[in-house]
Structure 1
């Protein structure tokens, strides 16, 4: 799901080379294990997941390519906000892709800065965004 979503949903904003590196990134499974992970399912099918670190950083948010724009990401973000509330956090942060930036903006996140990140010597544009919870 992770790899298909990246290669399908993000192809409008990133090159084939960028998508291949991004979707093949080693270590993302470790990130799922280290952070709190919420999984969205429909019947027994995984349709999305989101992770949050103890400091309120949303590290991963992916929704299956066939379940886009059906409220899955919004429900996952709500679960994360509830978790943040129980931890006493006052804000959430994320590093949103070009593709995901409008989703987060509509849900109250604000761009702090545009970033150029490097993965395996390939540069990616994304946005560091925050949302106040108070």
Structure 2
């Protein structure tokens, strides 16, 4: 596995990974309407172009396939997704470790994330604490997520 910076040529594969992961990995935590609303975000071209242009984007690649990606905007972890076929192989942890190292290099005092029900245990294992449970409305559908934070010493 290699970890590299993402670029605009990765966008199509990142969006495909995003939708496939939500569809298959998150189905135990969210119903079909919630999953459909959440993955509809892949169609927001402006948002994805903004991610590539303005955030730190790290790609985990295995055999020239994107196995996962993580993005950071300032001290906010925006996106962290691992391909459905590469779950439970330490990819998210490796991506997160690089992101935290970069945050420390930037002298960030803390990291924040809005974690899904599915991702909450991962972030807790990485030392994040829940600040609050919140309900977000996506295309008229309510989804629960968690505002989480990790203090960087």
TM-score normalised by structure 2 residue count: 0.84
What is the aligned residue count? 133
Q: 2:56 aligns with which of 36, 47, 56?
A: 36
CA distance in 1: counterparts of 2:110 and 2:80, whole angstroms? 17
Q: Is the deviation greater in 21-30 or in 34-43?
A: 21-30
CA distance in 1: counterparts of 2:37 and 2:144, whole angstroms? 14
Structure with greater helix share of residues:
2
Gaps (5+ residues) in structure 1?
none
Partner of 2:142: 123
List structure 1 runs of 4+ shifted beyond 6 angstroms: none
TM-score normalised by structure 1 residue count: 0.95
Residue 121 of structure 1: how far off its partner (Å): 1.4
CA distance in 2: counterparts of 1:82 and 1:75, whole angstroms? 11
Q: Is the deviation greater in 27-36 or in 84-93?
A: 27-36
Q: Spell out, residue by residue over 1:72-92, the C-alpha distance to the aligned partner (whole angstroms, 9 max, x if none).
A: 000000010011011110111
Q: Spell out, residue by residue over 1:29-87, the C-alpha distance to the aligned partner (whole angstroms, 9 max, x if none).
A: 23431311000001201000000011x10010000001111000000000100110111
CA distance in 1: counterparts of 2:128 and 2:90, whole angstroms? 17
RMSD: 1.0
Gaps (5+ residues) in structure 2?
1-16
1:4 equivalent to 2:20? Answer yes
Q: 2:66 aligns with which of 35, 43, 46?
A: 46
Q: 2:90 aligns with which of 57, 64, 71?
A: 71
